[in-house]
Amino acid sequence: MSQYDLIIIGTGPAGLSAAVYAARYQINFLLIGQLPGGLITESPLVENYLGIQSISGFELSQKMLEQIKFLGHEPVFDKVTQITHQNKFYQVKTSQQDYQAKSLILAMGAHHRKLNLPREEELNGKGVAYCATCDGPLYKDKVVAVAGAANSGLGSAFILAKYAQHVYVIEMLDKILADKSWQSKIEKLNNVDIILSNQITALKGQDRLESIVLKEPFQDQTELNVAGLFIEIGLQSNSQLAQNLNIDLDERGYIKINMHGQTNLPGVMAAGNVTSGQYQFDQVITAAASGAIAADSANKFLS
């Protein structure tokens, strides 16, 4: 079994930032993750990361990965299935191999929340989607909808408007939650309608999504014919691995950390979207900062 001083789990901005600092501290570490770059790869545009005026999330994540390789480390892309604690070591089991380490940084990120409507799972990939960057081109000249009007929702609408004939953005609140910069971009488009104070109550279609049902009428109709529905209603922490270690979670299932990125277990730090601090301001720059803080705490623990 391969042994390390530190294992970083997660290859999004938090995990990659932690790896940069672990390399600079010359820690014997391993970086493991499933998705190279994390969910940021789905972002159409990142225009608020210091030092970079405008870049796609995928391009930014590739630059981060290149920096890790420049520092002499190759990430392992594999799924971590279990973490246990035994004899002062943390045992990390993946689908292919087992590892152990004296300390951990948990940066597993988050996954897309779902509407939890009947047939949502059945129609996933058949009109229901969670990534406009990935699936937007499939809806050229078609009518689509986006659930959610926060940054991710308007970001998706912005991408989809390039391909689709028309885009409906549906938000259950009575206001748009996205930053003014995203609102300005959407206001310039003539094929996007934003529907506030409304929500989707049902999905219709046989083999593929054909229409969505609204709780309240829009332009005198409660059913909209759409070929695609992109669900952008926020994220849920990927904290399942932490539960097995009896790490303290908050009421929403996010890992509790202190200002140093430390959990309630000695030698276990956490960073990014998996933590209770991150969901309050879900940004690449804060994820990267939390990864750096966690790596510094790991270095002090090992010292």
Hey, which residues are catalytic here?
131, 134-135
Q: Looking only at Cα atoms, what is the longest distance across the chain?
A: 67
Q: Residue 70: exposed, middle, or buried by beta-carbon count in 10 A (0-12, 13-18, 19+)?
A: exposed
What CA–CA distance (Å, rounded) separates 73 from 22?
10
| 149 CB-contact burial (10 Å; exposed 0-12 / middle 13-18 / buried 19+) | buried
Would you say 267 and 102 are in contact if contact means Cβ atoms under 8 Å apart?
A: yes
Scan for tokens 């530190």, then name that residue: 6
CB atoms within 10 A of CB 125: 11
What sign does the CA torsion over 193, 198, 203, 205 have?
negative
Contact 65, 42 (CB under 8 A): no
Within 10 angstroms of residue 161's Cβ, the number of other Cβ atoms is 22
